[in-house]
Amino acid sequence: MENIHTKIIKIESENIDLSQLREAGQAIREGKLVAFPTETVYGLGADALNDDAIVKIFKAKGRPFNDPLIVHIGCLEEAEVLVEELPAVARKLAQLFWPGPLTMVMKKTKIIPELVTSGLDTVAIRVPNHPVALGLIRESRRPIVAPSANLFSHTSPTSAQHVMDDLIGKVDMIIDSGQTTIGVESTVVDVTALPLRVLRLGGIAVEKLQQVTKTIIVANKYEKINKSPGMLKKHYAPRAKLILVEEKNADMIRIILNLASSYRIAGKKVGIIASRENSEKYSDFLVKNLGEAEDLDNCARNLYAQLRLLDELKCDIIISENFANIGLGRAIMDRLHRASS
């Protein structure tokens, strides 16, 4: 693909320069690709109603056309024309969690192009909780489709630098507003039937959704692939081979040390992902910590950046500790499992 000029603009979340936001909104209206921050990860945005612009997203990312996109809107009311029905439970979840890292899959209207949904009769919608993302939607006066702004199957970007590393020369504009606060993608929930099905674990903990409705389950692998054709197992992956060690406590540490030594003897460069508490146990190796193991929100925020760092340092093998499978720890474990498959 031919290289294009990528314009980088800095917009501070707390001090938004409206003229820059207008320029970015105008670019979306002209069918251009604009990478922008959300609270989860950076998205690669385009006009959700413009087929040519949507095709460019798939090309820039190298993403297969059978992987549907999320439509980003400014508020719940904007969903009315995009979906056939807004089930009562969806309305309730939207009132509680929008704007925020919750994506809901609903029956689509004809307004949504087939390209967005890969031919499915449903569309995934969310209202992002980030002033720059919301400002861009407002200024463009369009719903915006935005997959994560990384090359297909690569680790999602949590900073503008990550976006540049993957997409410079392939997109028209990148808005830099610093690091994202949640750090993993939104939770995707199919609300078209009961029980509701979580298709992707993410930024809103399942436990929070369960406080609102008991009729919700986490979809199994078969359902995920069936309902969400793009949910390939190998995903969110660094370039290095990743090994997730599932044992706990002292066993986990011993196994990681043994694995790391044997790979090192075999001439491989090894990186380790650990909690802050444990990181000094591995000080003989290159180790990156995600923060205190108890603070899973913080660990989720740091996960992708640390994986990318180990890639940049040219590790052949990344060996990761496991994290508690509760709250945002579920999303962390989901991404580590996929990266290690």
Sign of CA pseudo-dihedral 227, 78, 103, 172: positive
Give the C-alpha separation, 271 to 148, whole Å: 25
- The verdict on 104 binding ligand TXA (CB under 6 A) reads no
**Rounded CA gap, 191 and 149, in Å?**
26
Stretch that binds ligand TXA, among 143-151, 166-174, 244-252, 290-298 (CB under 6 A): 143-151
Q: Helices in 179-323 by DSSP H: which ranges?
A: 206-212, 221-227, 249-265, 276-279, 296-312
- Binding test (CB under 5 A) with Mg ion, winner from 148, 159, 187, 289: 148
Nearer to ligand TXA by Cβ, of 101 and 135: the residue is 101
Told to check if 79 binds ligand TXA by CB under 6 A, we report no
Closest CA to 287 of 274, 298, 277: 274
If binding is defined by CB under 6 A, does position 159 make contact with ligand TXA? no
Nearest approach, Cβ of 41 to Mg ion (angstroms)?
8
Please name the helix (run of DSSP H) or strand (run of DSSP E) that holds residue 43, with its range, or none.
Answer: strand 43-47
Q: How is 186-210 classified by DSSP, letter by letter?
A: PEEEE-SSSSEEEEE--SS-HHHHH
Q: b or e along 204-219 (b: 16 or more beta carbons within 10 Å of the residue's beta carbon)?
A: bbbeebeeeeeebeeb
Candidate residues 33, 46, 120, 198; the one interacting with ligand TXA per rule CB under 6 A:
120
Length in residues, the chain: 341
Stretch that binds ligand TXA, among 1-9, 166-174, 224-232, 305-313 (CB under 6 A): 224-232
Q: Stretches 144-152, 187-195, 202-210, 294-302: which one binds Mg ion (CB under 5 A)? A: 144-152
Count of residues interacting with ligand TXA (CB under 6 A): 29
Among 136, 146, 205, 333, binds ligand TXA (CB under 6 A): 146
Distance CA 82, CA 112 (A): 7
- CB nearer to ligand TXA: pick between 68 and 291: 68
60: tokens are 């820039």
* Residue 116 C-beta: closest distance to ligand TXA, Å: 8
Binds ligand TXA (CB under 6 A): choice among 34, 46, 50, 68: 68
Q: Report the Cα 84 to chain-centroid distance in Å.
A: 26
The Cα 335–Cα 340 span in angstroms is 8
The C-alpha atoms of residue 58 and residue 38 are separated, in whole angstroms, by 19
CB 139 to ligand TXA: min, Å: 18
Q: Which does 120 bind (CB under 5 to 8 A by kind): ligand TXA, Mg ion, none?
A: ligand TXA
Q: Which does 228 bind (CB under 5 to 8 A by kind): Mg ion, ligand TXA, none?
A: ligand TXA
Task: Return residues touching Mg ion (CB under 5 A).
Answer: 148
Task: Return residues touching ligand TXA (CB under 6 A).
Answer: 38, 40-41, 43, 67-70, 101, 103, 105, 117, 120, 122-124, 128, 146-148, 185-186, 188, 199-200, 227-228, 230-231
